[in-house]
Structure 1
Amino acid sequence: MTKKNYQIFVDADACPVKSEILHIASSLQFDVTFVASYAHVSTNNFGGKWIYVDSNKEEVDMYIMNHSKRHDIVITQDIGLASLLLAKEMIVISPRGRQFVEETIGLALNMRYLSAKERRKGHHSKGPSPFSNEDRRNFSMNFEKILSNLEGE
């Protein structure tokens, strides 16, 4: 399988590593498709292919689910979407550089459920830590490693 058979999709609405994705993917000659809702149309020209979908809650996720295939790469922070994509044998990585895998996605889904249950009771946590330069470096390192491994297949 050549790298042309792999497609990279980005859940772009709140993705903080768009420029890193483009830089790494273009250096290894992978194409990138950013998927965002019309509510997040940007005047910044990041490059890559951009697809805009309706602003309904799950439209970006549905587009990625319906247009991606086995072995594609998706960048998303949505754990629910990640679990569905893993079932399709896709590579899923978060903007912080965490690769989602079958062995741990169940635990992540359970933790998400428990957190939502606590929020409904009125107990709010601090939420995720602010996105840091360390997160950016971690993403870049792991994303480049994933693409390099695919390139070597």
Structure 2
Amino acid sequence: MVMIFVDADACPVKDEVVRVAERHGLTVTFVANGGLRPSRDPMVRNVVVSKGADSADDWIVASAASGDIAVTADIPLAARLVENGVHVLGPTGKPFTEASIGMAVAMRDLKQHLRETGEIRGLNPGFTPRDRSTFLGALDRTVRMAVKAAAAETPAGEGK
């Protein structure tokens, strides 16, 4: 069964992920260093990891299987997940794929270098209602695609 993993530290689309997951009957796992609101929904899991650098990232990479879905704005985490066959979306709905992850990593590295040298400031654009709407559509499409692919891989009679 397809699962959704969310790099939940500072994720602006947690509610949207839950809405889409409920619609499709999927389990969601929010992973963070802390500050997660408990949920009464049995399909929503919260995992709090140690405060160490990349603890949440490492947990997600170890837990997500090929064909699962992950939501993260963290480009290095997205690269690790794409390499493992996970469908990855950013919170604005931008998919990270085998074809796009190399450029995303290169742009992240370039921007980091430009910030460190003072050429640019470290401001990210604000999260807009349009970003939220785009994310909802992209997540719904990704879920449908992942569920369909998982069903095609499951031999008749299994997974029931």
- TM-score computed with the length of structure 1 as normaliser: 0.89
Question: In 2, are the aligned partners of 1:18 and 1:46 still within 8 Å (CA)?
Answer: no
Alpha-carbon distance change, 33 to 61 in structure 1, aligned in 2, over 3 angstroms: same
Structure 2: state its 5+ residue gaps: 150-160
Percent identity at matched positions?
Answer: 31
Among 117, 131, 151, the residue aligned to 1:121: 117
Per-residue deviation at 1:136?
A: 0.2
Per-residue deviation at 1:44?
A: 6.1
> 1:67-115 CA distances to partner (integer Å, 9 max, x unpaired)?
1111111000011111111111110001100010111211111111111
Q: 2:26 — aligned with what?
A: 30
Q: Secondary structure at the match of 2:78?
A: helix
Structure 1: state its 5+ residue gaps: none
Q: 2:7 — aligned with what?
A: 11
Aligned residues: 147
Question: In 1, are the aligned partners of 2:115 and 2:122 still within 8 Å (CA)?
Answer: no
Q: Which amino acid aligns with 1:35?
A: V
Q: Secondary structure at the match of 2:99?
A: helix
Cα distance in 2 for residues equivalent to 1:29 and 1:12: 20
Cα distance in 2 for residues equivalent to 1:46 and 1:132: 29
Among 54, 57, 78, the residue aligned to 2:53: 57
Q: Secondary structure at the match of 1:102?
A: coil
| 1:131 is aligned to 2:110 | no
Per-residue deviation at 1:125?
A: 3.1
Q: Considering only aligned residues, what root-mean-square deviation do their CA atoms show, in Å?
A: 1.6
Alpha-carbon distance change, 32 to 145 in structure 1, aligned in 2, over 3 angstroms: same
Q: Which amino acid aligns with 2:8?
A: A
Alpha-carbon distance change, 43 to 147 in structure 1, aligned in 2, over 3 angstroms: closer
Question: In 1, are the aligned partners of 2:38 and 2:46 still within 8 Å (CA)?
Answer: no
Per-residue deviation at 1:121?
A: 1.1
After TM superposition, the structure 1 stretch with the greater mean CA deviation from structure 2, 89-98 or 46-55, is 46-55
Q: Secondary structure at the match of 2:125?
A: coil
| 1:82 is aligned to 2:62 | no
- TM-score computed with the length of structure 2 as normaliser: 0.85
Alpha-carbon distance change, 50 to 42 in structure 1, aligned in 2, over 3 angstroms: closer
